[in-house]
A and B are shown apart, each in its own frame.
Chain A
Amino acid sequence: MSSQPKISFEDVHLAFGPKQVLRGIDLAVDAGESLVIIGGSGSGKSVLIKTVLGITRPDKGVVAVDGEDIVGASARLRNTVNGKIGMLFQGGALFDSLPVWENVGFGLIQSGAMDRQQARVKAIDTLARVGLDEHVSTLLPVELSGGMQKRVALARAIADEPEIIFFDEPTTGLDPIMSDVINKLIVECVRDLGATAVTITHDMRSARTIADKVAMIYEGQIIWTGGVKDLDAPDHEMVDQFVHGRAEGPIQMAVRR
């Protein structure tokens, strides 16, 4: 079935207490596609991705991976699905009690795919791909700069070559050159590993490099999806305002003047 999307959201609603964050998300990502999600701060991008991992649970709607609804899935199905996914958390979420190489090789060791020695070699290899030296591998996460931590987290997300990779703001906090390296790396992951990637970013340059398709989330709904070439002249006022970063327009930020 080539028509079946890798990940799909249908009418996903989610609220934290009285705060309605997602109000009917409809979105599909095809296998091998690279989707970039853009949208204002606090609009629910991170929360949306976490529904696929089972970290947050939608109140209503369907989240499907490979055609299987995973909302409230059994522990077994949950494991299988999570095993296919690599995730770069927005805050890194590195294990601060473990050295860098063990962070990167963690999934490889725990899944039983490799022993510690093999995992270490693979981890150092993956670290090199994100531009980190071998000597970094024995340091603890606290001994790294913010940008280095980000890259370690990125290495951890891609180390076991998952089918689906989520990148939550992969380039924030990196210098422009390193950002470009990371963007290229993400493109490589999708092209070489055949992975399906969903990237959240505020960086339009990054979006242009990574994306096959772009979706914009606003007030808990997907208001626009389009190809990356439509990004410069989108047929939607809000997207146009967002992409060009103008304070004036239909989106009004709730700030006091």
Chain B
Amino acid sequence: MNPLASIGAVVLAFFTATGRVAIFAGRALYHVVTPPMHFRQMLRQLVDVGYYSLPVVALTTLFSGMVLALQSYTGFARFSAEGAVASVVVLSMTRELAPVLAGLMVAGRVGAAMAAEIGTMRVTEQIDALATLSTNPMKYLVAPRIIAGVLTLPLLVLIGDIIGVMGGYLVGVYRLDFNPSAYIQQTWAFVETLDVMSGLVKAAVFGFIVTLMGCYHGYNSRGGAQGVGIATTNAVVSSAILILVANYVLTESFFSK
């Protein structure tokens, strides 16, 4: 096959997919802001996305905070700059690690589950059935999930920030023999509102990405169990990539001078 033609085909496919996602996102947002709201569905999603993701996010951020303290200590000790450990931990956690790790973990947990559930509903005609029962499937299935993602990820990340810093503190104090009050003082001295806020904004964006991708791939799945499997994989992979890309773009816009 002509190599130019195949490049063209790939580019076209890329723009087609982007356009489809954009239209889907637009429709979803329309249903987020217009009544009626399906409060029961929303509550279920808030619990599913927020509450049940807590252990996963807590564990990942705890150990990341711990390993961060350990690694930065071995690095900084060479320049006798051990005092910088606390500030490195708190800045990396709040700005980058907590939002990105939480986003990726939630993509694996929640995004996959959403794609599988909505995908199964699609292939078993449950989505068609909704339309015959005075219910708009976008409003009933997609809007509550997106709202839940955008609302709960920042909360998860806030908790992750605290737990990650605590992990650094535990390693710093019990393993590296820092003075506890000095460590905490160091932490407070360096962290600024913008550090935390930027992380929370990122979290909201990632929450949108994960739930949008889960819903989009589920909603458009075709062809039985295999189709649902493909939708699930695509949801996770595309959320993960989009999270990392969006993270870079957001970091640029927050911190580049």
Residues in A lying within 8 Å of B, measured CB to CB: 50, 53-55, 79, 82-83, 85-87, 89, 91, 93-97, 106-107, 110-111, 156
Contacts and interface: CB of A to CB of B under 8 A. Distances in A.
Nearest to A90: B125
Contacts of A97: 117
Interface residues of B, number: 15
Contact of A93 (B126, B134, B135): B126
19 contacts: A53-B128, A54-B131, A79-B134, A82-B131, A86-B132, A89-B128, A89-B129, A93-B124, A93-B126, A93-B129, A95-B129, A96-B124, A106-B135, A107-B133, A107-B135, A110-B133, A110-B134, A110-B135, A156-B133
- A interface: dominant SS: mixed
A48 B124 CA distance: 18
Nearest to B131: A82
Nearest to A153: B129
B128 A55 contact: yes
Contacts of A82: 131-132, 134
Nearest to B117: A97
Nearest to A113: B134
What 9 A-B pairs are tightest by C-beta distance, nearest first?
A107-B133, A111-B134, A93-B125, A93-B129, A110-B135, A87-B132, A110-B134, A55-B128, A106-B133
B126 A95 contact: yes
Contact of B124 (A54, A79, A91, A110): A91
A106 B124 CA distance: 17
B31 to A, nearest CB: 11
Nearest to B44: A97
Interface in B89-142: 117, 120-121, 124-126, 128-129, 131-136, 140
A24 to B, nearest CB: 25
Given A96-B120, A110-B135, 5 more contacts: A82-B131, A91-B124, A93-B128, A110-B133, A110-B140
B221 to A, nearest CB: 15
Contacts of A107: 132-135
B33 to A, nearest CB: 16
Contacts of A79: 134, 136
Most buried by A among B125, B128, B140: B125
Contacts of B132: 53, 82, 85-87, 107
